[in-house]
């Protein structure tokens, strides 16, 4: 008796599915929207060539000391824009920087790396001038550089 009822139920379900107005072979459409965000990145590296400097009596009288080729700065980015590097010194005096020769006292601690192209490496060698404080003594001082992108 149970077997007959089971077969009757299966048969009834098959009749309902086969006579249903819903077509299981109907086609469906779908749309897919894709958006991509490429985040800007900058890879800044530097090689510091001078790690300390000697202040002499002549430097104290001038009020500054010139340091040639203190570091080489390298930048690579995925952006197409003008890049600026801020250079600071954590020691005696104020650091003025420049490139292609000795930095002038008017230097402001910013290196203009120029217009970057995605993936292209730009390198610049920078020079420095330490504006000495009035109470500085003769001796050897460390040159501690910090670099930041702007």
Beta bridge partners of 147: 87
Domains of the chain from N-terminus onward: 42-149 (2.60.40)
CA distances from 39 to 36, 81, 144 (A): 10, 14, 31
Asked if 43 and 77 touch (Cβ cutoff 8 Å), the reply is yes
**What does pTM read for this prediction?**
0.64
Of the pLDDT bands very low, low, confident and very high (cuts 50, 70, 90), residue 5 is low
Q: How far apart are CA 149 and CA 87, in angstroms?
A: 9
43-76 pLDDT, tens digit per residue, is 989 998 989 999 999 999 999 888 889 999 999 9
Q: What are phi and psi of 101, to 5 degrees?
A: 145, -175
Instruction: Evaluate if residue 128 carries a pLDDT over 70.
Output: yes
Q: How far apart are CA 136 and CA 81, in angstroms?
A: 41
4, HSE (Cβ side, Cα atoms, 13 Å): 1
What pLDDT, on the 0 to 100 scale, is given for residue 12?
65
DSSP letter, residue 65: E
Q: How far apart are CA 46 and CA 147, in angstroms?
A: 8
Q: Are strands 122-131 and 64-77 parallel, antiparallel or unpaired?
A: antiparallel
15-49 pLDDT, tens digit per residue, is 666 666 655 555 677 787 888 888 999 898 999 89
């Amino acid at each position: 008796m149970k077997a007959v009822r089971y077969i009757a139920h299966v048969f009834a379900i098959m009749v309902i599915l086969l006579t249903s107005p819903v077509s299981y072979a109907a086609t469906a459409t779908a749309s897919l929207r894709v958006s991509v965000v490429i985040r800007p990145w900058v890879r800044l590296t530097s090689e510091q060539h001078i790690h300390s400097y000697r202040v002499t009596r002549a430097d104290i009288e001038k009020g500054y000391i010139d340091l040639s080729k203190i570091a080489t700065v390298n930048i690579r980015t995925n952006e197409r824009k003008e890049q600026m590097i801020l250079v600071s010194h954590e020691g005696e005096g104020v650091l003025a920087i420049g490139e292609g020769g000795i930095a002038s006292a008017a230097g402001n601690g910013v290196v203009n790396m120029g217009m970057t192209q995605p993936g292209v490496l730009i390198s610049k060698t920078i020079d420095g001038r330490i504006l000495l404080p009035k109470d500085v003594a003769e001796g050897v001082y460390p040159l501690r550089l910090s670099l930041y992108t702007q």
